[in-house]
Amino acid sequence: MIYIHEFTWTAPASTENTFQALTDPSVLQKWFAEHVEVEGKEGGTFRFWGKHTIETPTKAQASQKITSYDPPNCFGFTWPLLGIESTVTFALDAGADGTTISGRHSFAEAPTGVRVKELIDDLWRLHGGNFVTYLKGGDGFLLPDYNDPDPEIRQSILIEAPREAVFAALITPEMMAEWIWAENAVVEPHLGGKYSYGWRYEVGGHNVAGGPTKILEYIENEKLVTDWPDWRGDSSVPVQTITWLLADEGDYTRVTVIHSGFTRPSDISDYPFGWDGFISKLKNTVEKK
């Protein structure tokens, strides 16, 4: 039975620039793969490999080919993945706010294994986040090393405020509502205390209480560590951790957030881009007080 994963990206660029970002080797090396070779025509080479490509660390393993090449409308290629032949296609449509990319990853048969469908979903969430970040001119890239046994996300920002003010924003429900969309947040500010953003959403027809649930480490104005259960609500996935570190840096506070405990690099998903947005909102929330 064929398995198909579909996704949509919104690119803040013209269809011409979007198509170029999908097919230009020098650009692909910035957001997609460590090494890329492209022969721009149907049936041409589209080889990508290296530490940022799942299951394809060496050039000898890269055998991908272009299946469709119609600039700036459509681009497709083969991708042997998870031991199965698969094909990826991107259809580009111009819109008022840029370009809509309709992605389709088709497998000749349904992949099997531990959370493989989630792996495919997370893989494209990660690629899509890097792609859109590149087109926006941002620096929030995270190209994972698929050989890394302990992958993590680490991001930091300078906030023009003392550590006490920043820490207050991490533990005060009213302020949390401003920077992390925390409705009905609950905080018991001590080791082992409850810590919830109050997130509720649906995944695959199931209601999920997302985000952290408790405080694992608490050093006032210096460090806050919480748990982070699987965002899809899968209790079989090991619980991850979120660490907030605060340090003086002149008249500023250096805030570092570390998301760790991933069991595989693909699980990083689109978290880097979410945390990048949240720490920017944290900065705005604290500095406007």
210-256 pLDDT, tens digit each:
999 999 999 999 999 999 999 999 999 999 999 999 999 999 999 99
Query: Tokens 């969430």, residue?
Result: 125
Q: pLDDT (tens digit, 9 = 90+) per residue, 188-205?
A: 999 999 999 999 999 989
| Containing structural domain, residue 283 | 153-287
Same domain for 160 and 131: no
Residue 7 confidence (pLDDT) above 70: yes
Under the banding of pLDDT at 50, 70 and 90, the label for residue 289 is confident
pTM reported for the whole predicted model: 0.95
The model's confidence at residue 141, banded by pLDDT at 50, 70 and 90, is confident
Residue 142 within a domain: no
Within-domain flag for 12:
yes
Burial 28-52 (b: 16+ CB within 10 A, else e): bbebbbbbbebeeeeeebbbbbbbb
Point out the domain boundary residue: 101, 136, 171. Answer: 136
Average pLDDT on 50-59 reads: 97
Instruction: Note whether 106 and 179 are same-domain residues.
Output: no
